[in-house]
Amino acid sequence: MNSLRVEGRIAFLRGGDIRAAANWRKTITKFAFVLAATALTATAVFAEDAAAPVVADADGNGTFSLAEVQATYASVTEEAFKAADTDASGELSPEELKAAVDSGAFKA
């Protein structure tokens, strides 16, 4: 017993299959909504990250000196730099730089 009948380009469902088709449509609609919300959230996060100034590691050593930081964040003082240098190495690791920027200690 076939519950799907096709006449030309129109398909007809019979009985309980109509309910299944309606449930399928609800599921697809929910999935599309979740997918769109996820895409919007990801776009907002990436836009926020893209807006942050980039500090160039001019000497390529993987850390950031006071001069390298001041090239992007001109208002950073030696005292603020030392406060952000939590391991007292004299340079900021990428994690220390991110923490200082995220906390608002370094402003462009």
Alpha carbon distance 20, 14 (integer Å): 10
- For residues 77 and 107, membership in a common domain is answered with yes
The total number of structural domains that make up the chain:
2
The model's pLDDT over 23-44, given as tens digits with 9 standing for 90+, comes to 667 777 777 777 676 666 655 5
61: in domain: yes
Query: Which range marks the domain in which residue 64 is found?
Result: 53-108
At which of 29, 51, 73 does a domain end? Answer: 51
- For residues 79 and 98, membership in a common domain is answered with yes
pLDDT for res 11: 64
Angle at 54 between CA 49 and CA 56, to 5 degrees: 150
Q: pTM for the whole thing? A: 0.54
The model's pLDDT over 39-86, given as tens digits with 9 standing for 90+, comes to 666 555 555 555 668 898 989 999 999 999 999 999 999 999 999 999
- For residues 61 and 104, membership in a common domain is answered with yes
Q: Which residue has the higher pLDDT, 5 or 85?
A: 85
5: in domain: no
